[in-house]
Amino acid sequence: GTKKKAGCPGLGLFYTVLSAFLFSVASLFLKKIEDVHSVEVSAFRCVFQIAFVLPGLIYYKTGFLGPKGKRIFLFFRGFLGSIAMVLLYYAYQVMPLADATVITFTSPVFTSLLAWIFLKEKYSLWDLLFTLFAVTGVILIARPPFLFGSRVTRIEGDYSDHMKGTIAAVASALSAASTFVIIRKVGKSVHYFLSIWYYAIIGLIGCVIALFILNEWRLPHCGRDRVFLVLIGLLGLGGQIFLTKALQIEKAGPVSVMRTMDVVFAFILQALFLNRLPTWWTVGGALCVVASSSGTAIRKWRHSVKKAKQGEI
C-alpha cells in the first residue's frame, strides 16, 4: 500500500498563532471605528458567518435545525454565543484593547468551574487555584476603588466606562464558557457547522431586534468605517477558520496555550497603533490570567492523554 504523507510538524500551532493575529487585528479595527454601535458590528460579523456556514450545511446535508433532542442546546449555544460576542465588542470599544483581551482569556477557567457544576466533571484544588489567579488578574485590571482608593490613575477615558467594559468582558467570558459547556454536552452528535449556524442566525436576529429597540441601526457616515466593518467580518471569519483547522490537526491543550498569543498581539497593536502603553497593573493582570488559562489547558490536556493511554491498555 501507499504510505500516508506525514503532516508538517507545528502546522497546527502556526494556524493557532495566525488565528490569534487575525482576531487581534479585527479587535484593533473595532477600536478604530468611531460611530458604530457594538451590536451593529456583531450583526455584520454574523452575516459573514452565515455566508461561510451556509454552503457547508448544504454540502454536508446536515439540515438547518439539527436533531430534535439537541435543538434546545443549540438554541442556547447560539443565544449565549451571540451575547458573548456583543459584550466583547462593547468591552473593546470602551476600555483599552489589551485589558479587554486579557479578561476574555478567563473563559477556560470559568469553563472548568461550570463543567464541574453542570456536567459533574472533576474540579481539583489546582482548578480552584487557577480560578483565584484569574479573578486576581481581573481585579488588577479593573482596580476597583474599594481596594485601590478613589483616585485611580492611567485609566483610558472615564473610569465608569472602564468598569462597564470590565463587567462586559467578564460577562462575555462567562457566556463563552457556557457555550463551551453546552458544546461538550452535545458532543459529536451535532456537526460543527450546525453549531456555528445557530450562533450566527440567532445572533443576527437578536442584534437586529436590539438595534431597532435602541434606535442605533445606521450605516457609518465615514467610508473608512465601512471598510473596517467589512475587514472585521473577514478577519473574524479567517480567525475562526484557522482556529478550527488548528484543532483538527493538533491537540486541544497546545492550541489553548498558544492562543494566549492573542494577548501578546493585543499589547503590541495597542502600543503601535493606539499610542498607549499598558500599565504595570495590566501586565500583572495579564500574567495572572495567562498563567491560569494556560495551567487549566495543560491540566486538561494531560488528563485527556492519560485517559487515552488507559483506554489503549
pLDDT digits (tens, 9 = 90+) for 168-181: 999 999 998 898 88
**Main-chain phi, psi angles of 251, to 5 degrees:** -65, 150
Kindly state the DSSP code that residue 215 receives in the 8-state scheme. T
Separation CA 277–CA 289 (nearest Å): 19
**Considering the domain boundaries, does residue 34 fall inside one?**
yes
Q: Rounded to whole angstroms, what are the CA distances from 65 to 164, 179, 193?
A: 36, 18, 11
Helix axes 223-249, 11-32, angle to 10 degrees: 160
With a cut of 70, say whether residue 142 has pLDDT above it. Answer: yes
Q: How far apart are CA 257 and CA 20, in angstroms?
A: 11
Per residue in 248-260, pLDDT (tens digit) is 677 766 777 788 8
The yes-or-no verdict on residue 313 having pLDDT over 80 is no
Q: Tell me the angle at which helices 192-214 and 159-186 cross, rounded to the nearest 10 degrees.
A: 150
134 found inside a domain: yes
Across the chain, what does the average pLDDT equal? Answer: 83
Judge contact between 293 and 109, C-beta under 8 A.
yes
Taking CA 88 as the corner, what is the angle to CA 226 and CA 103, rounded to the nearest 5 degrees?
135
- Asked whether the predicted pLDDT for residue 158 surpasses 90, the reply is no
Domain contains 18: no
- Which pTM value belongs to this model? 0.84
Q: Classify residue 10: in a domain, yes or no.
A: no
Q: Report how many domains make up the chain.
A: 1
Higher pLDDT, 256 or 63: 63
Position 290 in a domain: yes
What pLDDT, in 10s, does the model give residues 17-33? 999 999 999 999 988 88
Quote the domain boundaries for residue 192.
Answer: 23-310
261 within domain boundaries:
yes
247 within domain boundaries = yes
Q: What's residue 265's pLDDT?
A: 92
Structure confidence at residue 79 (pLDDT): 92
Cell triple for 132: 483565584
Q: Residue 242: which of 42, 11, 8 has the closest Cα?
A: 11
